[in-house]
Every structure is written in structure tokens, then in C-alpha cells.
């Protein structure tokens, strides 16, 4: 089928984790895409927004679905009510019935739904029961439905993955309930998207559920320690505690991670069950992607942004695989992704931008760091004692810097001459650190702005404790640094205006 023959695809849940990553892949495959959202404002910063039709509607209001479903060939049902107040099982069931009726009335050819892996028999958690209920309603709708059932999805922004990330990074020792010994079959987000795209073109008579999972079946504890190894952390001792109930475990997760309690409770309740695929019939309709399904450890590396031409990304600006399913989106929740600590300063100065830049580019070495030299020297001595590079490297030139230059215990990662200097820390720290300085001319041409930003990606609990331990000194050192740099630039500009040679002392 050529791209001109592909049906119009309607994506519900396009502002969610999976939907936001599926839309650009459907566009790439040649589909015209329409998205259904309650508020178009949620799409204002999404990069693919200009390439789709936007329909405003609410799955809880059948009247708003009529126009949105008009002309649709394939419907993607990627919404869930978990995290909303009330009984989400009833909410999800009613929304699914509304969608089923609207799709049948509009003559939709195919529904593709993403649900959850669950045991074939026995009691289910409310979360898994609601996922199963929605699939049953859509399959009974009269519109041929492919209901894909996935377990833990591995990708930055996925709630389950973020829980693994934050628990593993924060806790050096993990008391955990018995479900850490349950079996789980995680699947990479890229493989989920692959199945979703191809499910739109399966034969018209297919109307059933399909289990999907990655190549590895693991215990939850093994997932955590697999993450630890890929994140450069030590493996975590895990103690299984039979007395920790799902409710108590969710309170614990809410305490030590940024995952909202409204999401932690239903997810943890679902982890009481083994979630593995019971069949692999999907392979009869959709062959494995090129290279096969993604192993768990590789999917973690992708989620961490540590695979690009086989190299570890070093810049905080591009520490993801560009264009990959693991990339962050503006619609991702605030608690998704790396934990990042920032210290930002801005100063307005009468010095012109070029004078300010001269001071920035001359930083370090003999000129020092413009704030408490004894503190910087002490930090250098401490670094030397633990096997680091210390401050003695200095700089190659007192006036110019180039990308890759060593600068005391930093390295020049990016330089945009006249405007931006970004340094990557090479001292021994429990994480990754950068220092960024920027000079921007004022809009009226008089003076300039100095922006300074320290960025720290902590590694494990030690990284977090390190940041909070030095936080009291930031107000003194980084404030003083910003004040002295701008004052030096103003003094140099005045000296130059008086005919004296400019200096960055």
C-alpha cells in the first residue's frame, strides 16, 4: 500500500507518553494524522504539532467525538484514567464504550489499543482489570481491534521505568515487598511503537488481543540492578519484606521518588502478579523489527541516552539519542528523565557584550575564578587527594579558549565565541557537572546580560547528598563569581574608554 492510500489515523492520548512518540512515526510511515485532545494548548511546544490535524473533544462526551471520528480509517486508543480522581475502572469503561460506539457509527476500519500484560486467570489489580475491560469493550465493538498487551515499557518518561530509575538511583539498599521476586517481561518503547504502527495494516478479520514483550524475562529486582549497572551504579542489595503491603509500598515509593502517589498506588498493586507474555502470536502477523527485539540492558542504555554511534554522550544539552523514541518531549511529566540540579544567576551590566565576553573567555588559570580563591584552591587540593586532576592544569592561552581545551579541573565542551562558554567538570564528583556562562547584548544596545548556570546530574544517593552538602556555599561562591565577572567587565570597559589597556584582573 502506498502512502497516498494509507488511511487517516486518529490518535487519542497524543499528549501522553506513548501517543506523543507514536504520532511522528505514523507521519514518517506516510499516514495523515489527526489527534484528539481536550485542550490544543497542550500541543503548543510539541515538535510535530504543525504536521497534524487537531480535533478538540473529550472521550467522556460522545457529542464531541462525531466530527473527530469523521473519515478516520484507523483509531489508536492510548488513553487511560489512572491518576485521575475517582474510580478509574468505571471511568475507563465508559470512555471505551463511547469510543466503540463512535467508531462503529463513523465506519472506522481498525482500532489499535495498547493495554497491559496480565495473568490469564485469577484476580487482577484495579489497574490491570481496567486495562482488560477496555480491551474487551473495543473487541466487542464490531470494529476489528488489535489489542496489544505490554508489560513494563522501558523509556525515559514511562512511569514504570521512572519508578525503576528513581528507586535505584536514590536507594543504596532497598527494602522491598515480595513482588520484587515476581517475573516481568519488559519491552523497549521503540518496539512498542513498531508494533503499534504495523498493527494498523494487519488483515481486516483480525479482532483479538496479542501479548507483546521484549526478549528478556526478569524479576523486578533484576530490572533494578540491570538499571544500576547501565547507570554506572553499584548493584543494590534488595531485601524482600513479606509485611510490606501494596499500600505501604506505594507510600514508600511516593516518599523517596517524585512519582505521584496517584500513579504509584495502582502500578505497585499490579506488580503483585507475574506479567509475562503467554503467547507470541503477533509474530505471525508482524515480523520482528530489523535486528530483533531490544534486550533489556540495551533498552536502558537507550533510555539513558547513552548510545549514539557507540559513544557515551557527554553534553547535558544533547545527552539523548536525537530522533529516538527515548527522547524527552515537552508533554512528558516533570518527574520524568534525569534528576537535574541547577544553580542559575543573571546580572545586568553596563559593560558592552564584547567586554563581558573577554572576561568570560579569560576565566581560570592565572585570572582565577573571580570568587573566593581559597575555596577554589581547596576544591582543587581535595580533587588531587582523591586522584583527580586538580587545579594545576591551568590553561593553554591566557586570552583564548578552544573546544577541547583543559581549563583547571574543567574542559571546554562548547564555545560560541562572543556569546557562550560551556565547561564540563573533570574533577571527581558523584555525577556529571557543567558550568555555563553567556554574554548577551541588551536589546537597546546599552550594556549586556550575564547568565551563569551550574548543571549537575547526580549519580545515586551520594550525588544527591553531595549537591545538598555544597548548596550553602553556592549562594556565596556563585553569587560572588557573577558579581565579580560583571564588575571586572565594567572596569575593563571604562579603562578602555579612557585609553588605558583593558585587563581582566
pLDDT at 380 over 70: no
Among the listed ranges 99-113, 197-211, 213-227, 232-246, which one has the minimum average pLDDT value? 232-246
The reported pLDDT for the residue numbered 226 is 93
Per-residue pLDDT band for 321 (boundaries 50, 70, 90) equals very low
Query: What is the rounded CA–CA span in Å between residue 186 and residue 275?
Result: 9
Residue 251, phi then psi, degrees to nearest 5: -65, -40
Q: 341-497 has which CATH code?
A: 3.30.530.20
In a 3-state reduction of DSSP, which class is residue 104? helix
Predicted TM-score (pTM) of this structure:
0.69
> 381-413 pLDDT, tens per residue?
676 665 665 556 667 777 888 888 888 888 898
Neighbouring residues of 469: CB distance < 8 A, sequence distance ≥ 6: none
pLDDT at 339 over 90: no
Query: What is the rounded CA–CA span in Å between residue 147 and residue 463?
Result: 42
DSSP letter for each residue of 208-251 = EEEEE--S--EEHHHHHHHHHHHTT-PPPPEEEETT--HHHHHH
CATH architecture of the domain 3-318 equals 3-Layer(aba) Sandwich (3.40)
The reported pLDDT for the residue numbered 314 is 37
> Which residue in 294, 290, 343 sits closest to 321, CA to CA?
294
| Domain edges within the chain | 3-318, 341-497
Amino acid at each position: 500500500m502506498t502512502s497516498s492510500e494509507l488511511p487517516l489515523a486518529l490518535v487519542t492520548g497524543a499528549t501522553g507518553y506513548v501517543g506523543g512518540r507514536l504520532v511522528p512515526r505514523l507521519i514518517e510511515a506516510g499516514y495523515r494524522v489527526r489527534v484528539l485532545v481536550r485542550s490544543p494548548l497542550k500541543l503548543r511546544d510539541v515538535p510535530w504539532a504543525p504536521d497534524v490535524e487537531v480535533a478538540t473533544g473529550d472521550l467522556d462526551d460522545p457529542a464531541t467525538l462525531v466530527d473527530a471520528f469523521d473519515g478516520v480509517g484507523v483509531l489508536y486508543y492510548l488513553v487511560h484514567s489512572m491518576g485521575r480522581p475517582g474510580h478509574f475502572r468505571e471511568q475507563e469503561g465508559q470512555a471505551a464504550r463511547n469510543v466503540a460506539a463512535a467508531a462503529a457509527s463513523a465506519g472506522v476500519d481498525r482500532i489499535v489499543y495498547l493495554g497491559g500484560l496480565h495473568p490469564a486467570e485469577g484476580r487482577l489489580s484495579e489497574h490491570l482489570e481496567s486495562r482488560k475491560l477496555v480491551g474487551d469493550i473495543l473487541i466487542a465493538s464490531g470494529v476489528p481491534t488489535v489489542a496489544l498487551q505490554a508489560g513494563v515499557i522501558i523509556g525515559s518518561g514511562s512511569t514504570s521505568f521512572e519508578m525503576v530509575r528513581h528507586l535505584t538511583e536514590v536507594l543504596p539498599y532497598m527494602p522491598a515487598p515480595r513482588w520484587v521476586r515476581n517475573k516481568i517481561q519488559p519491552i523497549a518503547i521503540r518496539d512498542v511503537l513498531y508494533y503499534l504502527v504495523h498493527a494498523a495494516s494487519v488483515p481486516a478479520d483480525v479482532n483479538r488481543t496479542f501479548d507483546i514483550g521484549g526478549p528478556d524475562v526478569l524479576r523486578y529486582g533484576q530490572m533494578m540492578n540491570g538499571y544500576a549497572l547501565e547507570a554506572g551504579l553499584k548493584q543494590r542489595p534488595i531485601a524482600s519484606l513479606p509485611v510490606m503491603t501494596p499500600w505501604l509500598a506505594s507510600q514508600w515509593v511516593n516518599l523517596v521518588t517524585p512519582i505521584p502517589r496517584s500513579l504509584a498506588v495502582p502500578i505497585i498493586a499490579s506488580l503483585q502478579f507475574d506479567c509475562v507474555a503467554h503467547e507470541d502470536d503477533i509474530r505471525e502477523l508482524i515480523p520482528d523489527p530489523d535486528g530483533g527485539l531490544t534486550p533489556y540492558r540495551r533498552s536502558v542504555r537507550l533510555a539513558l541516552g547513552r548510545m549514539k554511534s557507540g559513544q557515551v554522550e557527554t553534553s547535558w544539552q544533547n545527552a539523548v539519542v536525537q530522533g529516538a523514541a527515548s527522547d524527552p518531549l515537552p508533554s512528558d511529566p516533570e518527574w520524568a528523565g534525569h534528576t537535574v540540579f541547577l544553580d542559575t544567576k543573571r546580572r545586568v551590566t553596563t559593560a558592552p557584550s564584547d567586554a563581558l565576553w573577554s572576561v568570560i573567555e579569560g576565566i581560570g588559570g592565572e585570572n582565577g575564578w573571580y570568587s573566593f580563591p581559597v575555596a577554589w584552591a581547596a576544591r582543587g587540593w581535595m580533587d588531587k587527594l582523591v586522584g583527580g586532576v586538580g587545579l594545576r592544569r591551568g590553561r593553554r592561552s591566557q586570552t583564548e579558549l578552544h573546544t577541547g581545551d583543559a581549563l583547571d579541573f574543567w574542559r571546554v565542551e562548547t564555545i560560541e565565541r562572543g556569546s557562550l562558554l560551556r565547561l564540563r567538570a573533570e574533577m571527581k564528583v558523584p555525577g556529571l557537572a557543567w558550568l555555563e556562562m553567556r554574554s548577551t547584548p541588551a536589546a537597546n544596545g546599552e550594556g549586556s546580560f550575564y547568565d551563569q548556570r551550574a548543571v549537575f546530574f547526580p549519580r545515586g544517593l551520594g550525588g544527591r547528598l553531595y549537591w545538598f552538602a555544597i548548596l550553602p556555599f553556592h549562594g556565596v561562591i556563585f553569587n560572588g563569581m557573577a558579581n565579580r565577572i560583571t564588575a571586572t567587565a565594567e572596569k575593563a570597559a571604562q579603562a578602555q574608554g579612557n585609553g588605558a589597556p583593558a585587563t581582566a584582573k
